[in-house]
Amino acid sequence: MATEIFTDPWAQHWNDSINNNEKYKKAATKWEGAIALQMTPDADMGIPEERIVIADLWHGDCRGARAGSAADLEAAPYVIKATPPTWKSVLAGKTDPIVGLMGGKLKLAKGSLFALLPYAKAAKELVQSAINVDTEFPEGWE
């Protein structure tokens, strides 16, 4: 059953998908700390306010994922921010997350790209886990 993008139910499915991803487990054995995905508002696309999901990552496991708040952005070591169309492209597998970060489509709003690079494979698998979630988009997302 599809769940709407970057909502609490979506985040819970993402959590399960991360924990079932063996490639992520292998690539993230040294990753500690949370990552937040932030979607900027776009009223025309049915997103009147920002949406945030955060995953608590620990040595290849996701200890929990949920919808987040501005306070979570403060606490997360890494925050990746993008517009709704960019997130849709990422979740469709059309935009590689690392290429998106290097090209500016995705913005590392918090954290160091240099510090994230050793986890490039893990980050890619986090996105693959998100792609595997049966995602529903608000009306107006063509």
Residues paired with 8 in a beta bridge: none
Q: Which tokens hold the place of 7?
A: 């909502």
Quote the DSSP letter at residue 68.
-
* Percentage of the residues of the chain whose pLDDT score is greater than 90: 63
pLDDT class of 135 with cuts at 50, 70, 90: very high
**Average pLDDT, stretch 111-131?**
88
Instruction: Name the residue with higher pLDDT: 21 or 70.
Output: 21
What's residue 137's pLDDT? Answer: 83
Average pLDDT over residues 113-142: 85
Whether the pLDDT of residue 142 is over 70: the answer is: no
With 90 as the cut, is the pLDDT of residue 63 above it? yes
The tokens for 37 are 């995905």
- Residue in 125, 136, 104 with CA at minimum distance from that of residue 55: 125
- Determine the 3-state secondary structure of 131 from DSSP: helix
| Listed residue (113, 40, 47, 51) closest to 82, CA to CA | 40
Q: How far is 35 from 97, CA to CA, in rounded Å?
A: 14
CA distances from 59 to 22, 31, 49, 110 (A): 12, 5, 32, 21
8 Å CB contact between 128 and 23: yes
Which amino acid appears at position 106 of this protein?
L
Confidence tier at 96 by pLDDT (50, 70, 90): confident
**The whole model's pTM is what?**
0.91
Domains of the chain listed by start with CATH number: 3-132 (3.30.1050.10)
pLDDT digits (tens, 9 = 90+) for 3-50: 999 999 999 999 999 999 999 999 999 999 899 999 999 888 778 889
Whole-angstrom Cα distance, residue 137 to residue 141?
Answer: 6
